[in-house]
């Protein structure tokens, strides 16, 4: 499946960037999108759980993973927000985490939903 760059762009995804992270292999990139969606609900639940428990160590690990996987598929804005939350967590900046966690999880949930529909999985 060749990525539909226009549809993905509407979701905030730079498909060309994502494909470049996947050795310029569109098939591998599509597999990465599918894995991103299939793991999404679990990762979203984990993020919320660690946030609710105020388990900053586990939260930072989860948000680091989200940063990396989002960057790999070309979701730069979400990756950047996750990066900011990762560093805020490492610096024990609880105010920043509280102010931005909801926005990040909303963006993440919307992206999972959009990709689910796009991929038909």
User: pLDDT, tens digit, for every residue of 37-74?
Assistant: 999 999 999 999 999 999 999 999 999 999 999 999 99
pLDDT at 9 over 90: yes
**Considering the chain, what percentage of its residues have pLDDT values greater than 90?**
96
Cα gap 41→110, rounded to integer Å: 11
- Cα distances from 73 to residues 10, 23, 44, 55, 93, in angstroms, run 14, 12, 17, 27, 28
Output the pTM of the full model. 0.93
Q: Tell me how many domains the chain contains.
A: 1
Which CATH number belongs to the domain containing residue 84 in this structure? 1.20.120
For residue 7, what pLDDT band results from cuts at 50, 70 and 90? very high
pLDDT at 121 over 90: no
Residue 40's pLDDT is 94
**For 76-87, what is the mean pLDDT?**
97
Look up the domain containing 100 and give its range.
5-119
């Amino acid at each position: 499946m060749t990525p539909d760059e226009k549809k993905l762009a509407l979701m905030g995804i730079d498909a060309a960037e994502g494909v470049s992270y996947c050795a310029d292999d569109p098939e591998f990139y599509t597999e990465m999108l599918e894995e991103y969606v299939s793991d999404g609900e679990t990762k979203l639940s984990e993020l919320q759980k660690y946030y609710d428990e105020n388990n900053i160590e586990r939260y930072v690990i989860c948000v680091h993973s989200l940063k990396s996987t989002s960057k790999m598929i070309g979701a730069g804005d979400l990756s950047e927000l996750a990066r900011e939350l990762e560093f805020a967590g490492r610096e024990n900046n609880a105010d920043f985490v509280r102010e931005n966690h909801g926005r990040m999880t909303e963006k993440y949930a919307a992206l999972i939903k959009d990709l689910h529909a796009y991929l038909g999985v």
